């Protein structure tokens, strides 16, 4: 079912529901001729910023060593955890097998912001009590053609580790670990100004993890 066919089905009567049943929600909701597909969503702990993986063990407080008056001392520090997303474009109307359509520069999607929401599998999702507060962040990157484009962004803010419930995990107080299924939604638009959004998820396990040497 192509993009044009999906939209046409919405304007016909009688058997329209039969055609609509083959269209995805994204195709029905977006007017853009192109859409983004997330290839990977990974994260790295602020304690190990170069080590990206498919899930994150977020350290709520990291002991960082400093030299003061010739002595090495450890200072408790809240560091942000980073996320990295890789995505490429596809067309709502892919063409045919014999003549497949490929995205052009006009189909480029530019993303300008994102939203992070932390959820628990047990349904206890009160922000500031069960999970950290969600937040919106700004970023700018463009996805064009079928080649994957990657960018990094803040996934866990430092201030989240200074507020409940993460602050209560420091030093082993309260619960030992909080596990979340974290949703990251990226918002942007194509070059005609039509909105495009795409969502990925990643597991984050918050705890007072052992610090690096």
* Band of pLDDT at residue 148, cut at 50, 70 and 90: very high
Question: Could you tell me how many helices (H) and strands (E) the chain has, helices first?
Answer: 3, 10
- The CATH number of the domain holding residue 60 is 2.70.50
My answer on whether 80 and 112 are in the same domain is: yes
My answer on whether 21 and 109 are in the same domain is: no
My answer on whether 20 and 91 are in the same domain is: no
CB within 8 Å of 203: residues ≥ 6 apart = 54, 55, 56, 179, 180, 181, 182
Over residues 173-199, the mean pLDDT reads 91
Over residues 31-41, the mean pLDDT reads 91
My answer on whether 55 and 91 are in the same domain is: yes
Q: Is 25 exposed, middle or buried (0-12, 13-18, 19+ CB in 10 A)?
A: exposed
Check whether 184 has a pLDDT greater than 70. yes
Over residues 75-95, the mean pLDDT reads 90
213 within some domain: no
Check whether 145 has a pLDDT greater than 70. yes
CB within 8 Å of 75: residues ≥ 6 apart = 63, 64, 65, 66
112 within some domain: yes
> What range defines the domain where residue 7 resides?
1-30
Over residues 79-90, the mean pLDDT reads 96
Spatial distance between the Cα atoms of 95 and 2, rounded to a whole number of angstroms = 8
Check whether 123 has a pLDDT greater than 80. yes
Q: What is the pTM of this model?
A: 0.79
pLDDT at 74: 72
**Token pair in block for residue 113:** 């912001």
- pLDDT tens for 16-34 read 333 333 444 544 455 788 9
Report the percent of the chain where pLDDT is more than 90.
56
């Amino acid at each position: 079912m192509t993009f044009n066919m999906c939209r046409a089905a919405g304007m016909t009567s009688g058997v329209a529901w039969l055609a609509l049943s083959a269209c995805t929600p994204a195709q029905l909701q977006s007017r853009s001729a192109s859409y983004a597909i997330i290839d990977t969503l990974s994260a790295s702990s602020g304690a190990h910023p170069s080590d990206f993986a498919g899930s994150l063990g977020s350290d709520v407080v990291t002991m960082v060593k400093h030299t003061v008056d010739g002595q090495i001392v450890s200072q408790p520090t809240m560091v942000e955890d980073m996320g990295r997303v890789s995505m490429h474009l596809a067309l709502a109307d892919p063409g045919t097998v014999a003549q497949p359509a490929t995205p052009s520069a006009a189909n480029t999607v530019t993303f300008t912001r994102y939203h992070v929401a932390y959820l628990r599998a047990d349904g206890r999702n009160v922000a500031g009590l069960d999970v950290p507060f969600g937040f919106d962040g700004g970023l700018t990157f463009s996805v064009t053609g079928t080649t994957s484009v990657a960018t990094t962004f803040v996934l866990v803010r430092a201030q989240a580790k200074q507020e409940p419930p993460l602050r209560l995990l420091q030093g082993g107080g309260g619960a030992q670990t909080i596990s979340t299924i974290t949703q990251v939604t990226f918002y942007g638009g194509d070059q005609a100004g039509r909105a495009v959004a795409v969502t990925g998820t990643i597991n984050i396990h918050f705890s007072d993890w052992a610090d690096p040497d």
